[in-house]
Structure 1
Amino acid sequence: MVSTAATPSPSKVSLGVRLGYAVGSFCTANFSTIPGLLLLFYMTNVLAVPAAFAGVVLFLPKAWDLVANTLVGRWSDRTVSRWGPRRPWLLAGALVLPVSFALMFAGPPLTGTTAGLYVGVTFLAAATGYALYEVPYKAMPAEMTTDYHERTSLLQWRMVLIAIAIAMSGILAPTIAGETSDGYRTMGVVFGVILLVSMLGSFFGTARAPFTGQQRSEGTLREQLAAARTSKPFMWLLGLSSAQTLGAGVMLAGAPYFAAYALDDTSATTTLFAALVGPMLVTMPLWVWLARKLDKRGAMLLSGSLFTAGALLILATPALGSLYAHLCVMIVGIGYAGLQLLQFSMLADVIAHDGVVSGERRGGVFTGLWTAVENAVSALGATTYGWVLTAGGFISSDPEHPVTQPDTALVAVVIGVTAVPALITFAGVLMTLRYNLTAERLAAAVGAGGTPDPAAAGRHDGQPADTEAVGTED
């Protein structure tokens, strides 16, 4: 293995390393998407778990992420090895997540609350394995290059593979799963293998990645979390990303229900996902260009607005039909492509800026807090949709005992994938206005040798930054 000791600050990352890093997206995208898409439906329509309880089961394991992710981030910041600080944790995650994922969909012949408890326990184990991998994985781009726009270009490859992985999750996974326990069991094994291969691929593929990070942090975990919380760019970015993630999570959880009850075609889940991820495959170069032209914040405002508009337009589906719904989902997909690319590029900027200002390596703490919140919010999407269904009087069932849903439940199915995620995402658009870590501000911090400017920086001494400087750098 090649050591990832600190090297001169490069502005470019080789194609091999870009692809080696990007292949890990088959893990992050599939694990983020499949539980959000299928686990609620699996519990309510295959295992006959009550909708409200199923929503709670999906959310509770994510509460553990608030602890696990911050600890993993701290550990990876302080790790010293010939593989660098992050890569050993990629390997640790690969030993836990794939098996836990397969077990999540391979339960014994249980139904109702007991089945929901089994899913909750295995989901908790899978979430732990995912934390071991995801936190250091997301910290790596900030340490591969010092160039503001190169980070966007680096992550472009990751977003392309994310689009392919989401297509796999939204098309292949539902096709394999069908609506039977055997189908879900087979799907769990197949995607468990895919997770393993992608996780090992990123471990070996980043062996020659440049490392531009700072020395490891010597502060306590509490001090590092305090630094993250007082970073105004980070907190606004975390807020707007959480809104986007929650909106997407609600829509994701509702997709199978929308296909089954609004379009009267369960196979439409596949075509709806094709309409969503298709734009991601072809618009990434456009979003990279827009990020340079409008800066990242301007491009983020545009992408969030497109997502919101597309979601609201879907409301007219009962009157205008399936083709109209798919066209609207394509608009959502164009916006979603920008959201996915830009939020992670902006996160790398925030981590890089903190490294310049503090002179310490604590990107793991930032990504640990980020991923803990992100995963909890993502799970809350399914929980929220479950609450919407419950409010509408949705009746859970299993394949052997189908039921006729009341009209109020059918209305809830549509509202849950349109108005609810649109309003949540629009809140993220408003928060984007408060974020202003631009290329110029980041360059100024680097030029100042890492000395924080009170007019453009929060404080690292644990004290709140000036309230009049909301949106400025850490």
Structure 2
Amino acid sequence: MAVTPGIRAGYALGSLTTGAFGTVPGLLLLPLLTDRLAVPAAVAGVLVLVPKAWDVAFNPVAGRISDRATNRRPFLLRGGLTLAALFAVMFLPPIFGTPAGDGAWVAVSFLACATAYAFFQVPYVAMAAELTDDYHERTRLIAWRVATLAIAILLCGAGAPLIRDSLGGYRPMGLAVAALIALGTLGVYFGTAKAPVARITPAGARFGDLVTAIRASRPFRRLLTAFTIQAVGIGTLLAGVDYLARVVLKDPGAQTPLFAAFVAPALLVMPLWQRVGLHWGKRRGYQIATALFALSIAAVVFVPPMALLVPLVALTGVGYAGLQVFPMAMLPDIITAEERRTNTTQAGLLSGIWTAGETLGLALGPGLYGLLLALGSYTPGGSPDQPPSAHLAIVLGFTLIPAILALAALPFMSSKDDAR
């Protein structure tokens, strides 16, 4: 089934919402807690992790609720707009004037955001397998989505800190990102209004059904494991950008060029990764992208001058683009193969498990980074003067930890029974 460019663009706009919510909390929520609200690093890591862990558990529930509808689009609208409002609320502190009170406000708001996001994300991911059954058309559909995701990450990753630092703090930044979330929600809702939906597939299941689905499909289980492990590494890297710029480089303004260098290449190299997938297969392309990502970010461990640091981060961004497009393009192929094998509809079920794994990985990243800061004796309160152990923790969390986690996923890509 062919998908028109208009529908591709409309579907891709949903990535403005997923990109904004997937980026900004992982990038700025930990600094908000540790440096603005003086919450200890270890506690801040837990506060960032727990709401996302809840999201993992709640995704199947959101899927079951959306299964009752004949159209997923209304869930996108309600979930996305609710998320936008709650996101602005999350960045209102300081309100109570104490680390405990303001930290609790952020944690509860983040939990509410995660709940609303589940009602957007699960239907959104499930739609990819419902719009077309064509192998290469799915790659194009996902490539548009990932390119838009890169734009969202670039806007939020580079723009959110800039707004925070130039317009008076976290509150105006929260409002600006909330507006982008709302824009993406409205874009995908109206942009897919004329999309042909051949079927509505179950997006939710009981816990036993989830376990059975994971056990039944070895290719899905391996791809999910690889993607989740790498999501932890990416989440750790994102959490470290602010700390690397402020504490190690002694230049808060360096955060914007570093983040731009990481994300901007995705807008240019997506056609290249598509050609790699066509000539060598999606699995091989995934392996190449993983190696490029890991080697490039590992080289940053020496913290070279900006003239070399930015190109290395940009090369890491080229690999990151492949880490996004290949697994998400392989997922619909695995879903289709599994449906043919079992003669059942499983797109929504497997998509719900996939989003849970991605959410868990991106949540564990900042939590792991907070633990590293605590082990490095990072002092909360926003002081740029930190002990050498904190400097080491900041650099390792931004470089070697993401590289090791990316390479740890390689064994799960090697099986010949995985999707090509």
Relative to the length of structure 2, the TM-score reads 0.95
Measured on the aligned residues, the alpha-carbon RMSD in Å equals 1.9
Residue of structure 1 aligned with 2:298, choices 312, 325, 335? 312
**Correspondence for 1:330 among 300, 314, 321:** 314
1:195 to 181, 185, 193: 181
Q: 8 Å contact 1:145–1:151 — kept in the other structure?
A: yes
Contact 2:293–2:318 (8 Å) recurs in 1: yes
Please point out which of 412, 415, 420 is paired with 1:431: 412
Between the aligned partners of 1:99 and 1:234, the Cα distance in structure 2 is 35
1:136 aligns with 2:120: no
From the superposition, tell whether residues 74 and 226 of structure 1 become closer, same or farther in structure 2 (CA, over 3 Å): farther
Structure 2 match to 1:100? 86
Matching residue of 1:63:
53
Shift of residue 229 of structure 1? Answer: 3.3
Deviation of residue 243 (structure 1)? 1.3
CA–CA distance in structure 1, aligned partners of residues 208 and 29 of structure 2: 34
Change over 3 Å in CA distance of 1:224–1:322 after alignment to 2: closer
Gaps of at least 5 residues in structure 1 are 1-9, 440-474
Deviation (angstroms), 1:323? 1.7
Q: Percent identity?
A: 40
Q: Which amino acid aligns with 2:153?
A: I
Cross-structure match for 2:276? 290
Q: How far apart, in 2, do the equivalents of 1:366 and 1:175 lie?
A: 38
Asked if 1 retains the 8 angstrom alpha-carbon contact of 2:230 and 2:361, the reply is no
Give matches, 1:59-98, under 5 Å.
Answer: 59-76=49-66, 78-81=67-70, 84=71, 86-98=72-84
The equivalent of 1:280 in structure 2 is 266
Letter in 2 for 1:408: S
1:426-465 equivalences in 2 (<5 Å): 426-434=407-415, 436-438=417-419
Q: What residue is the counterpart of 2:40 in the other structure?
A: 50
CA contact (8 A) 1:307 1:336 kept: yes
Task: Using the TM superposition, give the Cα deviation of residue 222 of structure 1 relative to its aligned residue in structure 2, in angstroms.
Answer: 2.9
Asked whether the equivalents of residues 81 and 181 of structure 2 are also in contact (C-alpha less than 8 Å), the reply is no
Cα distance in 2 for partners of 1:393, 1:216 equals 47
Counterparts of 1:218 and 1:190, CA distance in 2: 32
CA displacement at 1:177 relative to structure 2 = 1.1
Distance 1:65 1:343, change over 3 A: same
Shift of 1:431: 1.7
Correspondence for 2:139 among 152, 176, 182:
152
Shift of 1:331: 1.3
Q: Is the 8 A contact 1:46 1:179 kept in 2?
A: no
Matches of 2:248 and 2:203 in 1, distance apart? 53
Look up the match of 1:266. Answer: 252
Q: Quick one: structure 1 residues 54 and 328, their matched pair in 2 at CA, closer, same or farther if it must change by over 3 Å? A: same
Counterpart residue identity of residue 248, structure 2: A
State the SS of the aligned residue for 1:140: helix
Distance apart, 1:219 and its partner CA: 8.2
Moved more, 352-361 or 148-157: 352-361
For residue 157 of structure 1, report the CA deviation from its aligned partner. 1.1
Aligned-partner Cα distance in 2 for 1:413–1:215: 43
Tell me by how many angstroms 1:16 deviates. 0.7
Partner of 1:468: none
Aligned AA (1:292): L
Name the stretch that deviates more: 41-50 or 62-71: 62-71
**Residue 407 and residue 179 in structure 1: after superposition, are their counterparts in 2 closer, same or farther (change >3 A)?**
farther
Unaligned 5+ residue runs, structure 2? none
**CA contact 1:297–1:436 (8 Å) conserved in 2:** no
The equivalent residue for 2:7 is: 17
- 2:171 is matched with 185
Larger radius of gyration: 1
Distance 1:215 1:56, change over 3 A: closer
1:383 aligns with 2:370: no
Pick closer, same or farther for the CA change 1:134–1:367 going to 2, 3 Å.
same
Q: Counterparts of 2:416 and 2:260 in 1: how far apart (Å)? A: 32
1:32 alignment partner, SS class: helix
What is the correspondence of 1:206-245 to structure 2 with a 5 Å cutoff? 206-213=192-199, 222-223=208-209, 225-245=211-231
Q: 1:173 aligns with which of 150, 160, 166?
A: 160
1:247 aligns with 2:233: yes
Q: In the alignment, residue 228 of structure 1 is paired with which amino acid?
A: I
Greater percentage in helix: 2
How far apart, in 1, do the equivalents of 2:393 and 2:150 lie? 28
The letter for the 2-side match of 1:209 is A
In structure 1, C-alpha distance between the alignment counterparts of 2:341 and 2:202, rounded to whole Å? 14
Q: How many residues align?
A: 419
